[in-house]
Structure formats: structure tokens, C-alpha cells
Amino acid sequence: MASHRRPKQQSRARVTVLTTAAAAAVVLSANAANAAPSQKLSKDQVKAKVDELYQQAEQATEKFDGAQAKQQKLQKEISTIQDNVARGQQDLNKLRDGLGSLATSQYRSGGIDPSVQLFLSSNPDDFLDKASTLDQLSAQQVDALKKIQDKQRELSQERAEATQKLKDLSDTRTQLAQNKKDVQGKLADAQKLLNSLTAKEKQQLAAEQQRADRSSSQRVDLGNTPPASGRAAAAFSAAQSQIGKPYVYGATGTASYDCSGLTSWAYAQAGVSIPRTSQEQATIGTRISSVNDLQVGDLVFFYGDIHHVGLYAGNGQVLHAPHTGAVVRYESMSDMPFQFGVRV
């Protein structure tokens, strides 16, 4: 009898445990079900987060543009130095050949003077340091040797400069790759958020963006603000011709632009070369603190870190390349935190 009671007690205990576990699972499932809807972002919340990510992407874009411009500059400088080194080496070879000819001439006329043998050594500096031998040299020999010494010193400096710039170039390429990765990461995060929307919500957002681009791309009331100069007017006119072109990070036209890509391209059409990035563009020309003092074609800068730039269009409007997903268009400056303007 006892052997039959024990299994029953174990069975009841097991049923109690299983029942408790099942009840807990039901509660957890219910809580999970209740929590899931609260984690789902609304269309407006997604749009706000996407806009924030686009701003962060633009910050990274300006760093990318700066690294890219530095890379191009370094490549040109390195190429120039390498050309100079190659020409300098040819000059040095000619100087040495000339000194060799002088030694040959001395040999034919009665043997090579010991001092001339020193001319032909691999290190003329050692010879010049031996002042006791200088009185054995002709003026022509001294002049030839000093030219070789100067040329060797010049080549050594240029080679050292090229080595340093090659290191800078390597560091810049690493920075460029990181900046590019940062931009792509922000854009990928934004796309994930957009992908979380329903098909209907995506259509609604797309329609809103199209309406914003369409209305902002049309001619707006720019008031009677005069252009800052003839070149500023030409730059602004060039930018107007690009209205409707899409924003693409790192782009400088004419199929697409980022913010500083548009402004640098526009001024280039007016015959004025300005720096590539918004931060660098902020350092040129005359700074203008008040919106009331701006004139058409002035550069206008936004956000505390100056990562966005456009062209003043008059009547409180800016003509700019806004962000990923938008096109070159007019926009009210009140939509962004204005910092200052620059008259080129």
C-alpha cells in the first residue's frame, strides 16, 4: 500500500509545479503581448528619429568631405615633391658627372690630386669639414663641391617631407574610411526605422516628402533683398539651376549634392574658389551676425558645430541641399538654428 501512495504524492507535486509553470508562462505571454504594442513607434515618431539620424549623418558627411579634400591635397603635394626629387636627383647626377670630368682632366694633365679624389667620395660633407685641404682646391672645384653638397641637403629634406606626407595620407585614408562608415551606419539605422513602418505609413511619409520638395522647389517670395555682389548673384543663380537635384553625401554635382558640395559648386560657377566643407567655408569672407544684414548669395550656417550651409535667398529663406531623402530647395531659415552668415 505504501508503495502505491508515494507515486500519487509525487504526481500531485509534479502537477502543482507544472500548473505553476504554465500559469507563469501565460502571465509572461500576456505581458509580452501587452508590451509589444508600446514598443511600436508611430509614423511621426519614426520620422522624428529618422530626421535626427539624417542630421547625424550630415555631421559625419562634413567630416568625410574634409578628409576627402585633405586626401586629394596630400596626393597632389606628394606628387609634386616626388617630381622635384626626381629632377633634383638628375641635377645631382649631372653635378657629379661634371666633377668626374674635372678629375679626368687633371689625370690627363699629370695625375689626380689627392684632394680631387676626395671630391668623388660618397660624402662630400666630410671633405668640406677638412678645412686644411681647401687650400689645395681650385675655385672651380670648391664651387662644384658646394653645389653637390647643397643639392644633397635639398634632396634629403624633400625626401623627409615626402615620407611625412605619405604617413599623413595613410592616416587620412583611415579617417576617411571611418567617416564613410559612420555616414553609412546612420543611413542604415534610418532605413531600418523606415522599414518598420507599414506599407501605408511608408506611402504617407513619401507623399509628405514629395509635397515638401515640390512646394519648396517652386519660386518663393524672396522679397527685394539685393545680392551681396555680382559674383554672389551669379553663384545664387547657379544654385537655383540645381533645384530639384537630390542630396547625396559627398556629392559635388551636377547630378547630386550635399550641403557644402552645392555651395562650393555654385561659387565655382561664379569664378570663385571656396573651401570644400561647411566648417572651412565659415572661416572665409566677412562674418554677418544678424539675419537682417544678409544679402542674396551670402553663405548661411546652421547648428552649433556648423555642419550645415546654404545660400541666403532673401526674405528669411535659404536655398540648400537639406539632407538624405530631400532635394535642393528653398526653406525657411527658422526651421533650423541659424548661427551666422559669411559674405564671400
DSSP codes of every residue in 60-74: HHHHHHHHHHHHHHH
Candidates 4, 307, 308, 323; catalytic one: 308
Nearest to 229 by CA among 270, 281, 279, 265: 270
**Three cell numbers at 100?**
668626374
Q: In the block, which residue shows the cell 527685394?
A: 224
SS (H, E, C) 134-198: HHHCCHHHHHHHHHHHHHHHHHHHHHHHHHHHHHHHHHHHHHHHHHHHHHHHHHHHHHHHHHCCC
Of 285, 264, 287, residue with least CA distance to 339: 287
Strands laid side by side in the 308-314 sheet: 286-288, 338-343, 299-302, 308-314, 317-320, 329-332
Q: Within 109-138, where are the H helices? A: 114-119, 124-129
Burial (CB < 10 A; 0-12, 13-18, 19+), residue 315, is middle
Residue 49 has which C-alpha cell? Answer: 528619429
308 is catalytic: yes
- Extract the C-alpha cell encoding 134: 681647401
320 carries an active-site annotation: yes
Which residue pairs from 181-185 have beta carbons closer than 8 angstroms and sit at least 24 positions apart in sequence? Answer: 182/57, 182/60, 182/63, 182/64, 183/57, 183/60, 183/61, 183/64, 183/249, 183/250
The single residue of 4, 259, 307, 323 carrying the catalytic annotation is: 259
Reading the block at residue 107, the C-alpha cell is: 689625370
Task: Give the three cell numbers for residue 14.
Answer: 509534479
Measured between its terminal Cα atoms, the distance across the chain in Å is 104
* Integer angstrom CA distances of residue 336 from 13, 247, 320: 67, 17, 12
Instruction: List residues with catalytic annotation.
Output: 259, 308, 320
